[in-house]
Amino acid sequence: MLSLKLPQLLQVHQVPRVFWEDGIVSGYRRPTSSALDCVLSSFQMTNETVNIWTHFLPTCSMSPRARHICYFLDYGALSLYSLGCAFPYAAYSMPASWLHGRLHQLFVPTAALNSLLCTGLSCYSRFPELESPGLSKMLRTGAFAYPFLFDNLPLFYRLGLCWGRGHSCGQEALSTSHGYHLLCALLTGFLFASHLPERLAPGRFDYIGHSHQLFHICAVLGTHFQLEAVLADMESRQAWLATQEPPLGLTGTAATLGLAVAGNLLIIAAFTASLFRAPSTCPLLQGGPLEGDSNAKQQ
């Protein structure tokens, strides 16, 4: 009969100091545990067992309402990310001719309003999803495409200036990271909207290679190149920007972010409340009939 020996547990003085936890003196796993030891330790009482298993508790309360609420929170986080992009762009990536102009002054406040619009539209897009999936997809795509286009207006303008002047565009020059970021962003949007490649070969990409996985990869790469591009702008324009007044300052930035977070949470709370007011027979909370359901076929 196959038997597995559970890993030996250690006292605090038997593990390197970097693993010590204040007030915890026993139940430590060996720092050089193998992958098998780590799996087995999930089924023995260590000082991390309860912490590990409590991560699974939320799965017991999942419901159609909880699923929609999780999406609402996801949309809010993405909306605030679009606002986060506007802060460094306003500070480091503005065209020289825009500095201290009306558009520069309103750039971050408008981005904050855009985040509220994005959250509101994307949350609302879940409600007509069963009856009008096309409308739902259009609303959700537009909700994230618009803030992206707005945030990148300074880059598009600088890109246009550089195309017009060839290579002598001075302060308006864009690093190659800006180009990679824009390319990844376009690929991200294309994958989100097209559902390729799984649409061309249904069933072939169920586990690996479907559009949502590729969408995440492109989004992560785009974020990486975006950060690299902002750092390049900051370094190449540092001496010039040092002579300019900052658009908001620390206080204005913190206030704008705080108001945007509060506004997004209020929008999410409003849509969450509407879910709880909806009757349990609402199609949104039922998920629609399953394919092959005999009752569905008769209707």
Please tell me the distance from the alpha carbon of residue 31 to that of residue 50, in angstroms, as a whole number: 19
Q: Band of the pLDDT at 289, cuts 50, 70, 90?
A: very low
Q: Which pLDDT band, with edges at 50, 70 and 90, does 246 fall under? A: low
Which pLDDT does position 221 carry in this prediction? 95
Give the pLDDT of residue 204.
87
Residue 188 is encoded by which pair of tokens? 């991200």
Average pLDDT over residues 238-256: 80
Q: Map tokens 């294309």 to a residue.
A: 190
Tens of pLDDT along 47-96?
888 878 877 776 668 678 888 998 999 999 999 999 999 999 998 898 88
The 8 Å CB, 24+ separation contacts for 95-104 are: 95/154, 95/157, 95/158, 95/161, 95/172, 96/171, 96/172, 98/154, 98/157, 99/244, 100/244, 100/245, 104/247
**Residue 288, pLDDT score:** 47
Q: Which amino acid is at 94?
A: M
Q: Which residues pair with 28 in a beta bridge?
A: 10
Give the burial class of 280: count Cβ atoms within 10 A of its Cβ; 0-12 exposed, 13-18 middle, 19 or more buried: exposed
Percent of the chain's residues with pLDDT above 70: 89
